[in-house]
């Protein structure tokens, strides 16, 4: 993709988001001129950009939406829910097309048809007033007859000006413009679009072009029609319609009044381009004549004026201004040089730009507005940088180890101290560098929250519930990977809250609650962890209902179920195969239970907890690491070998006297703050020789994951490290019980345990 296309994709997404937000705000808070202007501008800029990257299907539908919004802006149309729905659907479509365009460099083949259908749906909102054009034409005499014509017709006529006039010697007459976009599969129906065009009576001009740019020859499907044919004919609208009667959905027929045709038009088309070029060339020649001291000033002034006028005439006011300034400069310096170079540049710019550039000029200028510029760097580059910084941290750890070795071997304190000082400096720099690189990937939560107003709006409408969404902590930042991976679980939580948590307005009234429910999403930082809370003020989760469902679904044996506290019972909603909804709805019942939320969050090193008060509401709390690039691990030793344990799973390390350890059914366990914690020997687990030291206190690492708890017996705690965890690869890829490996300072490969696999 070219830089222009890249920029288009990024900006289009931003504009779509902006338009979506404002549309929703418009509907929620009522009409305000600022809002509607902002929506209109977003659609307008999008349409212009789509034109620049030549995506006519996208332009078409955006144009229709823009017309509708323009009516809203001028008060001739009210923005009702249906209209907002249609506008949002349009943005969804455009958003999908932007994705297609980014992935494949083109829109899908049915884009044109989809676009027409959607444009029709949008235009249905427009008020019907036949004489609108006449009244506006009186305000703008120059544009007479043009305002009523679709853009493509004006462009077609302008581009084919010469051909049309040569075919139309008797002066202006009414004509018909035809745009024919055959279906991609039309050849299979036996259609021959060119053959149809041959039969058009009184053909004045014809254009044929690919709908989407052709790819490399190797990828061309010879039987997928990717053409657009446009023509101007002196035949009547009815004749043309009869000819194309079999393809009504692929054709657009527009009557063109005589005054819109070139002979009567004062408006300049590209047909004047050669003339303008000649004029400018002549001025260049004039400026190239050397040694003209006497009349130089007059020459410069005249040449600049002539060229300026010619360029203005050619619809290039930008070039005209440049030439004007260069002329003034040349006059001031009494040197033709500046004007000559400006003229040459203008000539090059004028000849190289197609006439459509003038049309797109406005939107281009708009997209080049000096907004707060950010540097766009591809994710892959950042990823490479993060990996390098990660490797550097590992190398730094290795250096620390070597320094330790040197210190022990060297008696001379001087050298050791010097090495140590340098090591400390490198230490600090590497830490800072790594931190800075990770900062590059930090994105604000607003990116994640942005899509929720839309989601909540659509769901609430679907469910006939009234919901206000409150978000806070948008500026809180987190690693992009975390934000990306949070999206799906968050969507599920919000859906769940809306679908199951929030009552119908009637039920809410009966319960003495305001009819409009509230869902809040809040992000915040707590130390080096992130907290995200999704809270609703709905019916809450009833532990007795959860118990009943759990026993129906046999999640736990009845005796264990009875022993659970209410809080633990509510936590069962995270169990696999649990769903509290009595009916599976299409909102949240998509085989994606709360267990998937928990799994997704735990995969990124987070924890999920849930607090609910019956009748008051539910809060789901996600506790997350700031980044998943580095993992903090504890290095432990057992049976003479080292292992890593992710710190996030470790709740504490304890030394337990032998008399506190009791044996239950052959398994060792001890009581920690009124909880029975089973003890697993890491050495035994790894089939390593276990040191018999039953008389000594045991060293235990208490681990918690997925709601289970256990203590791992180890021989010693060696270290705490920040490491880049590498997934198990090659022969080890299938090994169970390990989360990954990491390289230690001494070059040893450390196996990091997957705590969830180990817990009983």
**Under the rule (CB under 8 A), what is the footprint of other proteins?**
182, 187, 191-195, 197-198, 203, 206-210, 214, 217-218, 220, 222-223, 225-227
Q: Distance between CA atoms of 257 and 240, rounded to whole angstroms?
A: 16
- Among residues 560, 598, 561, 551, which one has the least CA distance to residue 576? 598
Q: Distance between CA atoms of 619 and 722, rounded to whole angstroms?
A: 32
- Among residues 84, 82, 12, which one has the least CA distance to residue 53? 12
Nearer residue to other proteins within complex by CB, 177 or 331: 177
* Torsion sign (Cα): 535, 538, 543, 546: negative
Beta-bridge partner residues of 529: 526, 625
Nearest distance, CB of residue 60 and other proteins, angstroms: 22
Nearer residue to other proteins within complex by CB, 207 or 309: 207
Nearest distance, CB of residue 632 and other proteins, angstroms: 54
- For 676, residues 6+ apart whose C-beta sits below 8 A from its C-beta are 664, 669, 670
Nearest distance, CB of residue 376 and other proteins, angstroms: 27
485 backbone dihedrals φ, ψ, rounded to 5°: -75, -15
Nearer residue to other proteins within complex by CB, 189 or 333: 189
Nearer residue to other proteins within complex by CB, 99 or 192: 192
Tally of CB atoms within 10 A around 271: 17
CB-based contact 435:441 (threshold 8 Å): no
Nearer residue to other proteins within complex by CB, 5 or 407: 5
Nearer residue to other proteins within complex by CB, 126 or 203: 203
Nearer residue to other proteins within complex by CB, 352 or 526: 352
Q: Distance between CA atoms of 87 and 83, rounded to whole angstroms?
A: 6
Q: Which ranges of 149-289 does DSSP label H, i.e. alpha helix?
A: 151-159, 161-167, 193-198, 237-243, 273-288
Nearest distance, CB of residue 303 and other proteins, angstroms: 32
- For 295, residues 6+ apart whose C-beta sits below 8 A from its C-beta are none
Nearest distance, CB of residue 244 and other proteins, angstroms: 15
Tally of CB atoms within 10 A around 215: 14
Nearer residue to other proteins within complex by CB, 223 or 667: 223
Nearest distance, CB of residue 201 and other proteins, angstroms: 14
- Among residues 648, 564, 573, 562, which one has the least CA distance to residue 611? 573
Q: Distance between CA atoms of 599 and 595, rounded to whole angstroms?
A: 6
Nearer residue to other proteins within complex by CB, 28 or 198: 198
Nearer residue to other proteins within complex by CB, 209 or 391: 209
Nearest distance, CB of residue 212 and other proteins, angstroms: 11
Nearest distance, CB of residue 633 and other proteins, angstroms: 54
- For 613, residues 6+ apart whose C-beta sits below 8 A from its C-beta are 540
Q: Distance between CA atoms of 714 and 699, rounded to whole angstroms?
A: 6
CB-based contact 494:463 (threshold 8 Å): no
CB-based contact 24:457 (threshold 8 Å): yes
Nearest distance, CB of residue 211 and other proteins, angstroms: 11
- Output b/e per residue, 572-604; b: 16+ Cβ within 10 A: bbbbeebbbeeeeeeebbeebbbbebbbbbbeb
Nearest distance, CB of residue 182 and other proteins, angstroms: 8
CB-based contact 146:154 (threshold 8 Å): yes
Q: Distance between CA atoms of 221 and 25, rounded to whole angstroms?
A: 45
In the three-class reduction of DSSP (H, G, I as helix; E, B as strand; rest coil), residue 416 is classed as helix
Nearest distance, CB of residue 344 and other proteins, angstroms: 24
Nearer residue to other proteins within complex by CB, 212 or 477: 212
Nearest distance, CB of residue 233 and other proteins, angstroms: 12
In the three-class reduction of DSSP (H, G, I as helix; E, B as strand; rest coil), residue 429 is classed as helix
Q: Distance between CA atoms of 216 and 402, rounded to whole angstroms?
A: 55
Radius of gyration in angstroms for the set of CA atoms belonging to the chain, rounded to a whole number: 36
Nearer residue to other proteins within complex by CB, 152 or 670: 152
Nearest distance, CB of residue 192 and other proteins, angstroms: 5
Nearer residue to other proteins within complex by CB, 191 or 704: 191
Per-residue three-class SS string for 121-172: HHHCCCCCCCCHHHHHHHHCHHHCCCCCCCHHHHHHHHHCHHHHHHHCCCCC
Nearest distance, CB of residue 298 and other proteins, angstroms: 41
Beta-bridge partner residues of 699: 655, 714
Nearer residue to other proteins within complex by CB, 124 or 208: 208
The distance of Cα 274 from the centroid of its chain, to the nearest Å, equals: 44
Nearest distance, CB of residue 49 and other proteins, angstroms: 23
Per-residue three-class SS string for 64-81: HHHHHHHHHHCCCCCCCH
Nearer residue to other proteins within complex by CB, 145 or 182: 182
Nearer residue to other proteins within complex by CB, 189 or 748: 189
- For 665, residues 6+ apart whose C-beta sits below 8 A from its C-beta are none
Nearest distance, CB of residue 186 and other proteins, angstroms: 8
């Amino acid at each position: 993709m070219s830089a222009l296309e890249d920029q288009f994709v990024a900006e289009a997404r931003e504009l779509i988001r902006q338009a979506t937000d404002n549309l929703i705000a418009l509907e929620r808070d009522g009409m305000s001129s600022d809002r509607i202007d902002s929506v209109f501008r977003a659609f307008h800029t999008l349409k212009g950009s789509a034109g620049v990257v030549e995506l006519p299907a996208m332009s078409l539908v955006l144009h229709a939406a823009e017309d509708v919004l323009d009516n809203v802006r001028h008060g001739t149309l009210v923005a009702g829910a249906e209209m907002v729905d249609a506008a949002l659907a349009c943005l969804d479509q455009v958003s999908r097309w932007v994705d297609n365009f980014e992935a494949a460099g083109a829109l899908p083949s049915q884009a044109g048809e989809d676009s027409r259908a959607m444009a029709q749906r949008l235009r249905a909102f427009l008020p019907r007033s036949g004489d609108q054009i006449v009244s506006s034409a009186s305000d703008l005499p120059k544009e007479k007859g043009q305002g009523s014509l679709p853009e493509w017709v004006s462009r077609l006529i302008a581009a084919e000006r010469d051909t049309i006039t040569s075919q139309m010697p008797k002066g202006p007459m009414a004509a018909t413009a035809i745009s024919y976009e055959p279906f991609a599969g039309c050849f299979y129906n036996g259609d021959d679009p060119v053959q149809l065009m041959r039969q058009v009576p009184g053909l004045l001009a014809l254009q044929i072009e690919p709908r989407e740019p052709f790819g490399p020859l190797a990828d061309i499907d010879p039987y997928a029609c990717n053409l657009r044919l446009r023509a101007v004919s002196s035949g009547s609208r009815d004749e043309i319609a009869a000819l194309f009667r079999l393809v009504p959905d692929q054709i657009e027929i527009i009557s063109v009044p005589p005054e819109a045709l070139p002979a009567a038009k004062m408006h300049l088309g590209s047909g004047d381009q050669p003339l303008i070029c000649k004029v400018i060339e002549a001025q260049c020649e004039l400026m190239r004549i050397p040694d003209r001291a006497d009349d130089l000033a007059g020459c410069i002034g005249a040449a600049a004026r002539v060229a300026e006028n010619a360029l203005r005439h050619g619809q290039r006011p930008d070039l005209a201004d440049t030439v004007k300034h260069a002329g003034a400069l040349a006059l001031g310096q009494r040197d033709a040089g500046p004007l000559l170079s400006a003229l040459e540049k203008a000539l090059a710019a004028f000849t190289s730009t197609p006439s459509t550039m003038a049309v797109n000029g406005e939107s281009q200028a708009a997209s080049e507005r000096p907004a707060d510029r950010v540097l766009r760097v591809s994710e892959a580059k950042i990823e490479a940088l993060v990996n390098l910084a990660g490797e550097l941290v590992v190398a730094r750890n290795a250096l620390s180890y070597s320094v330790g070795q040197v210190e022990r071997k060297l008696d001379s304190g001087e050298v050791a101290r010097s090495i140590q000082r340098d090591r400390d400096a490198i230490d600090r720099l590497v830490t800072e560098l790594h931190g800075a690189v990770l900062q590059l990937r930090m994105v604000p939560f607003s990116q994640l929250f942005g899509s929720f107003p839309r989601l909540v709006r659509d769901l609430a409408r679907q469910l006939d519930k009234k919901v206000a969404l409150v978000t806070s902590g948008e500026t809180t930042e987190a690693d992009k990977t975390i934000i990306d991976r949070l999206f799906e679980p968050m969507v599920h939580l919000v859906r769940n809250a809306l679908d199951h948590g929030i009552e119908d307005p009637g039920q809410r009234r009966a319960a003495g609650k305001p009819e409009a429910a509230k869902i809040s999403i809040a992000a915040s930082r707590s130390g080096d962890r992130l907290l995200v809370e999704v809270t609703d003020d709905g019916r809450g989760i009833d532990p007795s209902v959860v118990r009943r469902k759990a026993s129906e679904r046999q999640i736990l044996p009845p005796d264990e179920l009875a022993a659970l506290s209410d809080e633990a019972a509510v936590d069962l909603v995270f169990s696999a195969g649990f769903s509290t909804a009595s009916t599976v709805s299409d909102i949240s019942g998509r085989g994606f239970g709360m267990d998937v939320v928990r799994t997704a969050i735990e995969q990124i090193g987070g924890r999920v907890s849930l607090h609910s008060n019956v009748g008051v509401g539910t809060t789901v709390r996600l506790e997350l690491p700031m980044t998943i690039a580095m993992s903090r691990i504890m290095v432990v030793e057992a049976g003479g070998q080292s292992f890593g344990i992710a710190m996030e799973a470790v709740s504490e390390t304890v030394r337990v006297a032998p008399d506190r350890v009791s044996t239950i059914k052959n398994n060792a366990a001890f009581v920690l703050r009124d909880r029975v914690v089973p003890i697993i020997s890491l050495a035994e687990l790894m089939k390593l020789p276990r040191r018999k030291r039953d008389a000594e206190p045991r060293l235990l690492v208490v681990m918690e994951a997925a709601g289970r708890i256990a203590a791992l017996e180890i021989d010693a705690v060696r270290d705490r490290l920040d490491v880049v965890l590498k997934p198990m690869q090659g022969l080890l890829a299938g090994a169970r019980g390990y989360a990954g490996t990491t390289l230690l300072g001494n070059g040893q490969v450390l196996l990091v345990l997957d705590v969830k696999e180990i817990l009983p």
